[in-house]
Amino acid sequence: MSSTATPERKIPREKTLDSTVALLREAYEFIPRRARRYGSDVFETRLMLQPAICMTGAEAARVFYDDDRMTRLKAMPPTVLTLLQDKGSVALLDGAAHYHRKAMFLQLLGPGSFDRLVDLTAAEFATAATQWERRDAVVVLEAAQEVLCRAVCTWTGVPLEESEVHQRTRELAAMFHGAGSIGPRQWRGQALRARHERWVRQIIEDARAGRRTLPDGSPADVIARHRDSDGQPLDAAAAAVELINILRPTVAVAIYVTFAALALHEHPHAAERVRAGGDGELEQFAQEVRRFYPFFPLVGGRVVKPFTWNGVEFPEGRRVLLDLYGTNRDPRHWEGPDEFRPERFQDWPGDPYTLIPQGGGDHRTNHRCPGEWSTIALTKVAVAFFGSSIEYDVPEQDLRVDLSRMPAIPRSGFVIANVRAAGS
Ligand code: HEM
User: Would you say the CB of residue 160 lies under 6 angstroms from ligand 1?
Assistant: no
Q: Is 361 close to ligand 1, i.e. is its CB under 6 Å away?
A: no
8 — pLDDT class (breaks 50, 70, 90):
low
Asked if residue 91 has its Cβ within 6 Å of ligand 1, the reply is yes
CA–CA separation, 188 and 401 (whole Å): 22
Summarised one tens digit per residue, pLDDT across range 274-288 is 999 999 999 999 999
Mean pLDDT, the chain, rounded, equals 93
Give counts: helices (H), strands (E), the chain: 15, 10
Q: Which helix (H) or strand (E) holds 391?
A: strand 390-393
Q: Ligand 1 mean position to 418 CA, how many Å?
A: 35
Nearest residue (by CA) to ligand 1, atom 40, is 91
| Residue 414 belongs to domain with CATH number | 1.10.630.10
Report yes or no on 180 lying in a domain.
Answer: yes
Residue 147's closest CA among 266, 257, 240?
257
Parent domain of 114: 20-421
**Residue 319: helix, strand or coil by DSSP?**
strand
- Whether 13 maps to a domain, the answer reads no
Residue 15 lies in a domain: no
> 12 alpha carbon to ligand 1 midpoint, in Å?
31
- Tell whether ligand 1 has an atom less than 6 A from the beta carbon of residue 358: yes
* Segment 26-50 mean pLDDT: 94
Q: CA-CA distance, 158 to 239, in Å (whole number)? A: 13
**Is residue 11 in a domain?**
no
C-alpha 307: how far from chain center: 29
CA-to-CA dists, residue 192 to 114, 179, 225, angstroms: 27, 12, 26
Render pLDDT for 344-397 as a digit per residue (tens, 0 to 9). Answer: 999 999 999 999 999 999 999 999 999 999 999 999 999 999 999 999 999 999
Higher pLDDT pick, 87 / 401: 401
Nearest atom within ligand 1 for CA of residue 109: 30
**Ligand 1 atom closest to Cα of residue 367:** 41
Note whether residue 8 is domain-resident.
no
Instruction: Tabulate helix, strand, coil % of the chain (nearest 5).
Output: 50, 15, 35
Q: Which atom of ligand 1 is nearest to the CA of 105?
A: 35
Residue of higher predicted confidence among 423 and 408: 408
Cis amide bond preceding 159, omega within 30: no
The atom number, within ligand 1, closest to the CA of 322 reads 16
User: Ligand 1 in contact with 290 (CB < 6 A)?
Assistant: no
Measured from the Cα of 356, ligand 1's closest atom is: 10
| Residues in a beta bridge with 51 | 46
Residue 1 is predicted with a pLDDT of: 40
Residue 186 CB–ligand 1 contact under 6 Å:
no
> What DSSP string describes 8-61?
P-PPPB--SS--HHHHHHHGGGHHHHHHHHHT-SEEEEEETTEEEEEEESHHHH
- CA 270/CA 346 separation, integer angstroms: 13
C-alpha of residue 358 to centroid of ligand 1, in Å: 6
Q: Give the pLDDT of residue 9.
A: 65
Check pocket membership of 370 for ligand 1, CB cut-off 6 A. Answer: yes
**Through-space distance between the first and last CA atoms of the chain, rounded to whole angstroms:** 59
What is the model's pLDDT at position 225? 97
Q: Residue 81: its pLDDT value, please? A: 64
Higher pLDDT, 377 or 21: 377
149 is annotated as contributing to ligand binding: no
Phi, psi of 114 (to 5 degrees): -120, 25
Identify whether 5 is part of a domain: no
SS3 label, residue 322: strand
Tell me: pLDDT of 41 over 60: yes
The residue whose CA has the least distance to atom 41 of ligand 1 is 367
Q: Does 338 map to a domain?
A: yes
Q: For position 310, what pLDDT does the model report?
A: 84
pLDDT of residue 318: 96
Burial grade of 402 (CB within 10 A; 0-12, 13-18, 19 or more): middle
Q: Where are the beta strands (DSSP E) in 281-318?
A: 298-303, 307-309, 312-314
How many of the other CB atoms lie within 10 Å of CB of 121?
28
Q: Express each pLDDT in 122-170 by its tens digit.
A: 999 999 999 999 999 999 999 999 999 999 999 999 999 999 999 999 9
Rg (Cα) of the chain, in Å, rounded?
22
Indicate whether residue 84 lines ligand 1 (CB < 6 A).
Answer: no
Of ligand 1's listed atoms, the one at least distance from the Cα of 359 is 13
3 within domain boundaries = no
- What total number of domains does the chain contain? 1
Q: What is the pLDDT of residue 64?
A: 96
Segment 300-327 shows an average pLDDT of 94
Assess whether the C-beta atom of 105 lies below 6 angstroms from ligand 1: yes
- Which has the closest alpha carbon to 236: 208, 276, 262? 208
Q: What percent of the chain has pLDDT over 90?
A: 83
Instruction: Mean pLDDT check: name the lowest of 44-48, 190-194, 332-336.
Output: 190-194
Q: What is the pLDDT of residue 383?
A: 98
Determine the pLDDT at residue 16: 87
300 lines ligand 1 (CB under 6 A): no
pLDDT band at 2 (very low <50, low <70, confident <90, very high): very low
144 lines ligand 1 (CB under 6 A): no
CB environment 360-384: b (16+ within 10 A), e (fewer):
bbebeebbbbbbbbbbbbbbbbbbb
The percentage of residues in the chain with a pLDDT greater than 70, rounded to a whole number, is: 96
Q: What is the pLDDT of residues 371-380, one digit of tens each?
A: 999 999 999 9
CB atoms within 10 A of CB 7: 6
To test ligand 1's pocket by mutation, which of 358, 365, 376, 378 has the most ligand atoms within 8 angstroms of CB?
358
Contact yes or no for 318/53 (Cβ under 8 A): yes
